[in-house]
């Protein structure tokens, strides 16, 4: 989509021609009292019948410097808006048509000259600025006529206005038909003067002008109705201006014949603002898209937090004013573009009425924008949107990769914790079924030996050995319980917490409310969190009471351990609380310690049953099923 933009040399040439033409008209204007009152030199009035009517009004307004300034402003506005469109549009035609209309408008100002050739040329060019505007309307936004009908319509319009000028003035000598005042304008188109024929031609010309005006309005309405939403949005300012100008032209042509007095001069002045609306509409369209480019910062903020769905697409549609815009993402796995619903899509063909722009970063596709082909006339806006959207999609892709990596890290941590817990269970079984049982057997053998040995000293030695062995067995049981509490396997979380409370030196109030069975990893983590918190309360907090609450829902378990001790607990980098925090984080949960000095310590852990969409496994052990369990009790040492 290569843009044929206006070069600096072309810009200088257009502005130079425009300045020369404006100066030529300014020097050609005759400001004598007779010339400024001459109705034949009225700008914008082609119908000879209207000039005859205006010449009969004694108090008609003269041509003034203010009117001439308005005339120049409209012509220069058309040219400058054409230069702006030429420099910003991918096609040179729209801008050139506006420049041509401005030149023809300015050239019609030669009608104010007393030179017969300049006056006649000005009369012939009075309405010739309108055919380029009609072509612009028919060929918007490219400026290129699409079919033979459009070409024939523009050719007919050019020919009609030239023929109208020749027909109106071929049988009209203005020097003979100014009743109030005098005219010295010499008409070089004059064949012979015939007032009756001039009146008949004037009546036909007005009817033709009205019909042409209605045809233009109908054509614009048809184009509007058949256009896409993006086309309508882009064409709206220019279409409205052309309809307004057409209506004003028809009204002025009728007013100069029907009205009288100063009202005729006032009606003629309306042609200037009606025509000035056209360059203003063009500039409005260009500025609108510049404002859209300026709003890309807001677009980045809006789409920065929007997922790849209708919200993001809506932000883009709002920026480019195309409600049909779609944003597709590139799928490397499927080697195709996919829409917001994950369906594979193909880029539109050249003449389908839709256009596409592939979004790339570092030479690799990241997505595609599919929009109405009318937006092709805004390459700078599309380039800005492409850069912003490509960067956003790339950031989304990176965020998705980081998200996936984070999920994998959490899965890895969960697998490590699960494997460690399984090893703990196995070690506890090995200690219970192996070393512990053998030590129990040795204890029994020592008791038997003590009964069989008659020697008192030997019996004393055996007794001391049995005591030491019993203490070792107790320590081994405590070690096994610390590795993996057997009560957790046998009695579930409620029973194991009750057993924990029975071994604690401070009163412990236990309350367990569960709605569903707990996954093993969650159950074990909850137990260790409670055990560590209760142990710290008993050893370091000088607590008089500890409260343990375990509340399970269908998706998570919340554990709260609170004491009334001295507070001030701070989790250290190597402390047990930090290890419990890591265990909770590995399950996708949270761990919090609130310990204001002098106001006790509260440990809160929230353990989800599924971390990042990974469902926890059901308990492998056939222990107590605690679904629906409500157990509460206070255990005092």
Side-chain half-sphere exposure of 132, counting CA atoms within 13 A: 21
Question: What's the residue count for the chain?
Answer: 637
Q: Which positions ≥6 away from 59 have C-beta within 8 Å?
A: 261, 262
Lowest mean pLDDT across 97-101, 178-182, 471-475, 534-538: 471-475
**pLDDT score, position 383:** 66
* 146-154: long-range pairs with CB below 8 Å, 24+: 153/219
Q: How confident is the model at residue 105 (pLDDT cuts 50, 70, 90)?
A: very high
- Is residue 132 scored above 80 in pLDDT? yes
- HSE (CB half, 13 Å, CA atoms) of 619? 19
Give the residue range(s) of CATH 3.30.565.10 domains in the chain.
Answer: 491-635
Give the model's pLDDT for residue 604: 93
Confidence band (pLDDT; 50, 70, 90) for 621? Answer: very low
The pLDDT value recorded for residue 2 is: 43
Question: Does the structure show a pLDDT above 90 at 369?
Answer: no
Q: What are phi and psi of 205, to 5 degrees?
A: -65, -40
* Selection from 59, 58, 37, 40 nearest residue 50 by Cα: 40
Q: Convert the pLDDT of each residue in 499-509 to its tens digit.
A: 888 888 889 99
The CATH number of the domain covering residues in 8-292:
1.20.1070
- DSSP output for 342-366: S-EE-PPPTTSSEEEEEEEETTEEE
Report the first-to-last Cα separation within the chain, whole angstroms: 86
pTM reported for the whole predicted model: 0.56
| Average pLDDT over the chain, rounded to an integer | 76
Per-residue pLDDT at 501: 87
Q: Which helix (H) or strand (E) holds 478?
A: helix 456-483
The domain over range 491-635 is classified in CATH as 3.40.630.10: no
Reported as a single tens digit per residue, the pLDDT across 463-481 is 777 777 666 666 665 555 5
**Structure tokens given for 369:** 């924008």
Q: Where in the chain is the domain with CATH 1.20.1070?
A: 8-292
């Amino acid at each position: 989509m290569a843009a044929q933009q206006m070069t600096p040399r072309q810009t200088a040439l257009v502005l130079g021609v425009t300045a020369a033409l404006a100066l030529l008209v300014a020097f050609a204007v005759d400001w004598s009292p007779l010339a400024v009152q001459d109705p034949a030199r009225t700008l914008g009035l082609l119908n000879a019948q209207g000039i005859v009517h205006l010449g009969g009004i004694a108090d008609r307004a003269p041509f003034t410097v203010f009117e001439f300034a308005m005339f120049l402003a409209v012509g220069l506005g058309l040219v400058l808006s054409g230069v702006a469109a030429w420099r910003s549009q991918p096609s040179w035609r729209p801008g050139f048509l506006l420049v041509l209309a401005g030149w023809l408008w300015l050239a019609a100002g030669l009608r104010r000259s007393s030179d017969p050739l300049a006056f006649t040329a000005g009369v012939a060019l009075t309405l010739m600025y309108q055919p380029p505007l009609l072509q612009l309307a028919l060929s918007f936004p490219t400026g290129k006529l699409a079919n033979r009908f459009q070409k024939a319509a523009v050719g007919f319009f050019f020919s009609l206005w030239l023929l109208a000028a020749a027909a109106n003035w071929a049988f009209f000598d203005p020097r003979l038909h100014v009743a109030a005042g005098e005219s010295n304008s010499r008409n070089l188109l004059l064949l012979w003067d015939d007032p009756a024929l001039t009146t008949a031609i004037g009546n036909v010309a007005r009817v033709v002008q009205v019909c042409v005006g209605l045809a233009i309005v109908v054509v614009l309405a048809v184009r509007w109705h058949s256009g896409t939403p993006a086309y309508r949005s882009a064409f709206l300012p220019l279409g409205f201006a052309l309809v307004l100008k057409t209506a004003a032209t028809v009204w002025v042509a009728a007013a100069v014949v029907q009205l009288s007095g100063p009202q005729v001069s006032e009606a003629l002045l309306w042609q200037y603002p009606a025509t000035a609306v056209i360059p203003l509409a063009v500039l409005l369209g260009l500025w609108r898209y510049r404002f859209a480019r300026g709003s890309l910062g807001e677009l980045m903020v809006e789409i920065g937090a929007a997922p790849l769905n209708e919200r993001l697409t809506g932000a883009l549609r709002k920026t480019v004013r195309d409600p049909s815009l779609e944003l597709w993402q590139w799928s490397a796995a499927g080697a195709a573009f996919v829409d917001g619903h994950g369906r594979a899509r193909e880029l539109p063909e050249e003449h389908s009425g839709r256009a596409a722009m592939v979004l790339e970063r570092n030479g690799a596709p990241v997505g595609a924008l599919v929009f109405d082909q009318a937006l092709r006339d805004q390459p700078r806006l599309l380039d800005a949107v492409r850069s912003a959207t490509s960067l956003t999609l790339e950031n989304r892709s990176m965020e998705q990769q980081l998200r996936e990596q984070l999920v994998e890290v959490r899965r890895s941590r969960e697998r490590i914790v699960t494997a460690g817990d399984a090893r703990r269970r196995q070690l506890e079984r090995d200690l219970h079924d192996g070393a512990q049982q053998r030590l129990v057997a040795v204890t029994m053998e020592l008791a038997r030996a003590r009964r069989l040995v008659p020697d008192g000293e030997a019996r004393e030695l055996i007794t001391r050995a049995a005591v030491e062995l019993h203490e070792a067995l107790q320590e081994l049981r405590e070690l096994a319980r610390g590795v993996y509490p057997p009560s957790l396997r046998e009695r579930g979380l409620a029973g194991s917490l009750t057993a924990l409370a029975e071994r604690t030196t401070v009163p412990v109030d236990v309350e367990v409310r569960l709605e569903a069975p707990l996954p093993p990893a969650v159950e074990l983590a909850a137990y260790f969190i409670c055990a560590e918190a209760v142990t710290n309360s008993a050893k370091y907090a000088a607590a008089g009471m500890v409260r343990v609450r375990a509340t399970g829902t269908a998706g998570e378990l919340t554990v709260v351990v609170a004491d009334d001790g001295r507070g001030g607990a701070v989790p250290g980098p190597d402390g047990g609380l930090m290890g419990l925090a890591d265990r909770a984080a590995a399950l996708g949960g949270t761990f919090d310690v609130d310990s204001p000095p002098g106001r006790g310590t509260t440990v809160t852990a929230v353990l989800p049953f599924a971390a990042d969409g990974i469902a926890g496994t059901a308990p492998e052990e056939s222990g107590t099923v605690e679904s629906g369990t409500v157990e509460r009790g206070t255990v005092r040492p």
